[in-house]
Each structure stands twice: as C-alpha cells, then as structure tokens.
C-alpha cells in the first residue's frame, strides 16, 4: 500500500511494519499515523504481514519465518523502486517504523540491509520476543474446545489476534511456530543507523528496551506517559516524536 502526501518533502518514504494480530488499517490508518506522516510531507509504504489483514495465508510454515518475511519486505521495497542510500539523493533509501513484532522485524531488517535504511523508529520494542514464549498447545486447546489458557501473555496475544475478523487465526499460529524456529537475538546483528525507541511507561513488554539501546550506538529513547502496549500506538506524543526524529 502506498500513501502519497499532497506536498512531498525530499526525504525517503516511511515504511510501516505493523504488529502481531494487527494490520496496516488498524495499526497505521485508523490510529492517524498515515495522515500525520502525509501531513508532514512523508510518502508512506506499508503491507499486511502474512495471515494478517488483506494478505494471503500461505500453507507452508517457511512463509512465516522472520527471515522469509524480511526477504519479502526487501522485495516489496525493490518493487516500489526504493534505491540504496545515496548522499547525493536525500530521498533515497527508506525510513522504517515498526511496532511490536514490527519493531523486531525492523531491527533485523536494518541490521541486514543497512544500505537501504536511513533511520528507524521502533515502538513497543522488546529484546525478548513475547511470541517465543507463546503456549501454542494451550491456544490450540482453547480454539478446539474452550479450555482456559493459564498463561496470561498467551491469552492476551490470542485475544488480540482475534480482534480483526479478516485475520486467519491458524495462519497466525503458524507465524508463532515459525518465530519459535528463529528466536530473536538482537545482539547477533545490530543496526547502526540512528534509532528511536518508544514505549509507554505502563508497557511491561517494553520496560527492557534499554537493553536494545545498549547494543546500538546511535539511539534515542522516548517514554510515553500513562500508555501501555495496546494504546501507545495511538499517542500523539509518539507521532510527534517519530516525525521530528525522521525529519
């Protein structure tokens, strides 16, 4: 999906990567992000991850691994005509804005494709991917016969995944299984472009984001007051901080 501003500035497009169980529409359009970025003159690119929103739900497990998703994102940018960073062309490359799972994918993408990424904003980041601890068996039992889920994080993630009717819940469980195959290890590949880390002060999932800041050298951190993992994304303060950082 491509969102063009009325008056574009000479800066790279902003590539939005949504979180688990969400979509471009829910994560970025309805929350006002696309409008805010367009109003700031930024061109915006986004896509629904596999099994989410309007995207297809492949049958093979490999389609959901983080490495395959990142390869697909790279191909998408190539198809959109995004060119490697060039000091003589201020609109070259891309800026990444990822939330939750999208933050993990952005961190890894920036580390493996540094020639394309100018800056990154990571919202709700976590050095330990919560999907890695998701109880797949408990989720499957709940979906099959309503057996209560004992793990609070698993129950919350499953509930979030079911919010959007168009989500393919079994595809999302495949994604979780694939994530478990490729655990997030941020120290293994560290991005070196400027990074802004943003989290709500009530977001227990992102309280350890300072560990990411310790790994990278060019990092700023912003904490949004009275916001948790679910509603930090809607914060005007988050938008203002991200837009200023990406200018």
Evaluate whether 102 touches 70 at the Cβ level (below 8 Å): no
Query: What pLDDT score was predicted for residue 124?
Result: 93
Evaluate whether 92 touches 140 at the Cβ level (below 8 Å): no
Q: Looking at the predicted structure, is the pLDDT value of residue 104 above 90?
A: yes
Q: What mean pLDDT value characterizes the chain? A: 93
The rounded percent of the chain whose pLDDT value lies above 90 is: 76
Digit-coded pLDDT (tens) for 197-216 = 999 999 987 778 989 999 99
User: What average pLDDT does this structure show over 36-48?
Assistant: 97
Q: Which long-range contacts (CB under 8 A, 24 or more apart) does 153-158 make?
A: 157/20, 157/21, 157/130, 157/131
Q: Identify the weakest region by mean pLDDT among 18-32, 123-137, 150-164.
A: 150-164
Confidence of residue 108 (pLDDT cuts 50, 70, 90): very high
Q: Looking at the predicted structure, is the pLDDT value of residue 133 above 90?
A: no
HEC readout, 9-37: CCCCCEEEECCCCCCHHHHHHCCCHHHHH
Evaluate whether 231 touches 239 at the Cβ level (below 8 Å): no
HEC readout, 60-120: CHHHHCHHHHHHHHHHHHHHCCCCCCECCECCCCEEEEEECHHHHHHHHHHHHCCCCEEEE
Digit-coded pLDDT (tens) for 142-187 = 988 889 999 888 998 888 788 777 778 888 999 999 999 999 999 9
Question: CA geometry: angle at 79 spanning 75 and 82, to 5°?
Answer: 90
Q: How far apart are CA 175 and CA 138, in angstroms?
A: 16
Evaluate whether 48 touches 166 at the Cβ level (below 8 Å): no
Q: How far apart are CA 85 and CA 116, in angstroms?
A: 6
Digit-coded pLDDT (tens) for 44-83 = 999 999 988 888 888 899 999 999 999 999 999 999 999 9
Evaluate whether 17 touches 73 at the Cβ level (below 8 Å): yes
Architecture per CATH, domain 2-128+185-246, reads as 3-Layer(aba) Sandwich (3.40)
Query: What pLDDT score was predicted for residue 194?
Result: 98
User: What average pLDDT does this structure show over 30-43?
Assistant: 97
Q: Looking at the predicted structure, is the pLDDT value of residue 29 above 90?
A: yes
Residue the block writes with tokens 């993630």 = 157
Q: How far apart are CA 190 and CA 193, in angstroms?
A: 9
């Amino acid at each position: 999906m491509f969102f063009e501003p009325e008056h574009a500035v000479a800066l790279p497009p902003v590539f939005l990567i949504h979180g688990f169980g969400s979509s471009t529409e829910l994560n970025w359009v309805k929350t006002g992000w696309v409008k805010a970025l367009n109003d700031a003159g930024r061109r915006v690119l986004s896509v629904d991850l596999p099994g989410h929103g309007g995207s297809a739900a492949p049958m093979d497990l490999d389609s959901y691994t983080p490495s395959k998703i990142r390869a697909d994102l790279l191909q998408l940018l190539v198809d959109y005509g995004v060119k490697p960073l060039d000091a003589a062309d201020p609109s070259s490359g891309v800026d990444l804005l990822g939330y939750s799972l999208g933050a993990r994918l952005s961190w890894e993408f920036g580390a493996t494709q540094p020639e394309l990424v100018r800056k990154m904003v990571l919202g709700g980041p976590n050095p330990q991917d919560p999907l890695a601890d998701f109880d797949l068996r408990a989720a499957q039992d709940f979906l099959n016969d309503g057996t209560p889920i004992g793990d609070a994080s698993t129950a919350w993630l499953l509930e979030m995944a079911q919010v959007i009717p168009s989500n393919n819940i079994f595809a999302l469980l495949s994604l979780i299984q694939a994530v478990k195959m490729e655990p997030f290890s941020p120290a293994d590949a560290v991005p070196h472009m400027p990074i802004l880390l943003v989290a709500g002060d009530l977001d227990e999932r992102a309280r350890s984001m300072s560990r990411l800041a310790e790994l990278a050298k060019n990092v700023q951190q912003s904490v949004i007051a009275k916001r948790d993992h679910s509603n930090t994304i809607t914060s005007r303060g988050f938008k203002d901080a991200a837009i200023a950082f990406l200018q």
